[in-house]
Structure 1
Amino acid sequence: MQGLKLGMIGCGVHAKANIFSSLHMMGYPMKAVCARHLERAQEAAARFGIDKAFGNYKEMLDQEELDAVFVITEAASQADIVKECLQRGLHVFVEKPLGMNEQEALEIADLADEMNKKVMVGFMKRFSPSYIAMKRIMNNKEDFGTALSFMGMFAITSGRPGWDNNVFTKVGGIHYVDLMRDLFGEVQDIHGYTNSVDVEVDNIFTMRFDSGMIGSMFFGGIPAWKRHWEEICVTGTNGFVKVDNMMQVRYHFDKPVKTAGARWKTLDEEDTVLAPVNTSSSGGWRDLYLNGYVGELEHFFDCIEKDQNPICDARDNVKTMALCDQIVQCLKGK
């Protein structure tokens, strides 16, 4: 798949730090790059060895013969750009969110089907080794038992212009909205509570899933969490598993008691901890793997090569955006 002719629309911090860097490391050269400000595209082209730089994405699409395009732009602009790329017969990898509501997401899913092109939404947490491990542990029914409930949180700093409950949920919190669907299935019922004031977001919601799973989630965009923090803990009948910041997985399985006499006299409870090695030998690439960026891009290229639908394609994204809409509405008490 390294013969694919690739174009990039967007040269922001995320695009350069995570997507450009991952593609460069994986050996996938870009043929052309575009940004609203030409000098940014030229800077990215020089940095990553890209042949052409453009200040208008339609000019890039007109002049360059491409197979696939990466769309990493402002959230509200991505839907129209993806439609344009699909209408030109291109496969698309797009950063979340794809559409700002269920209806916009549905229009793109229908167009992707009509054009018979791959659209993958960048929900990289599905590809993080930590959450893959969590899913594997949860599905080990013999040791874990039935997954019953979870508690989670996703918290980042506040004060971003326009980041009210709606935008926070659909641009930031959407990572965990999609992850919950991936781990637990579809939501049957949801209730929410909010103390948000303007761009200082403080929300809690509780859910019941079709699988019978129940859980609670905290979304925070307040000064207390400038460091960024995410965690999720799942409890089963015979075990629990917890992920902290995609850097550590801790799990426990209940075992028959072997201690003679009172258990409080001994240390016989065992947890297993999975963590990455601390090394400088990765050259700074480690985060791209642990955060799931490399995994999601490998999946995208694999789906093009094998003519398969990505697990987080445009059609699946409709369900994630529908759940985002539900969350926003329940926070309004509707």
Structure 2
Amino acid sequence: MEAVERAAECGLSPAQLARTYQFVEASVASGQIPGAALLVARHGIPLPAFAVGRLRPQDPNPAIRPDTIFLVASVTKPVTATAAMLLVERGQLLLDDPVCAIIPEFGAHGKERVRVRHLLTHTSGLPDMLPDNLELRRRHAPLSEFVRRICELELDFPSGTDIQYQSCGIAMLGAIVERITDTPLPEFLRREIFEPLGMNDTSLGLGHLPPERIAHVHLEPEMEGTDWGWNTPYWWNFAAPWGGMFTTVGDMFKFCQMFLNGGMLNGIRILSPATVAAMTRDQTSGNPVIPATARYRQAWGLGWGLAWRRQPASGWSYFGDLTSPGTYGHGGATGTVVWVDPVRAQICILFTTEPTAIRSGWLGRCSNLVAAAAL
């Protein structure tokens, strides 16, 4: 296998990398994972992507390929955060701007003190999903209705006083980008991030991407047979700022390598080094107002999760146990994870089509195999 043969070029153990690929292949062969693609890189050198399994869980053909496009769910969040941070470094936005100063209708029911910073660090007090999330999806509500409903919510706690993972906050972040730039978020991301980085197989929402190349997610019972689930035209075109991005392992490597390079890739600068440093620095652990139990369980940069503190109450961690302090990344509910270890200059892009891969610990075990390959 070419990737194993080239592993030593970038300081990775060929034997450990082979063990990693065998783990993924065996998981697909046993039926634990319908399909997966994995790209490992170190010192800026990406190895050829490893791909195995089926494009559609119930169909033996066609096979997943290295260029297969995945719905990556919440791996979208740091990308939306990057759009907002572009506005920060361009002087169009401050982290401590009240959200209602940009979106006045948001400033109701005690949300007047929510800042942009709170949206980026999961400290806004907003819930993860709307209480009527499923009902809205069942009737194919547009994203604008989701945003309107978020503006009507009350907070679960005063902003800045606790940490609660919140897709609703990232939805508002996307709305802020659109309001300031007068540009739809998918178009802003395409113009400012995807095209400059050469991420030609990436889009928020299906966009220009060919449907026949998209890996279908193995649906859990509540989504089976619906017309609003992960594999439906409704969701493919919804373009959720918190979870609607489609991409390949190769394209996502470019995004992560840009961060590892301090905001630049192939001579093209996307972010300033100062912005990258702020996004990947611990922004929550030093806040004495947040309860210690919350601060010790998880830590957030601006859009990125920090692996060394990512230990939810359930005990699983999609980053595994062996990444270095300072590692940042994100996981997605469709069975995806990306992480960047700046100490080892190592990147892992791991996409599956199995939602249970997160809570079963499968992503964490595979992450350990990848991390252990660094020599």
TM-score (norm 1): 0.28
Q: Which has the higher contact order (CA 8 A, sep 6+)?
A: 2
Between structure 1 and structure 2, the one with the greater Rg is: 1
TM-score (norm 2): 0.26
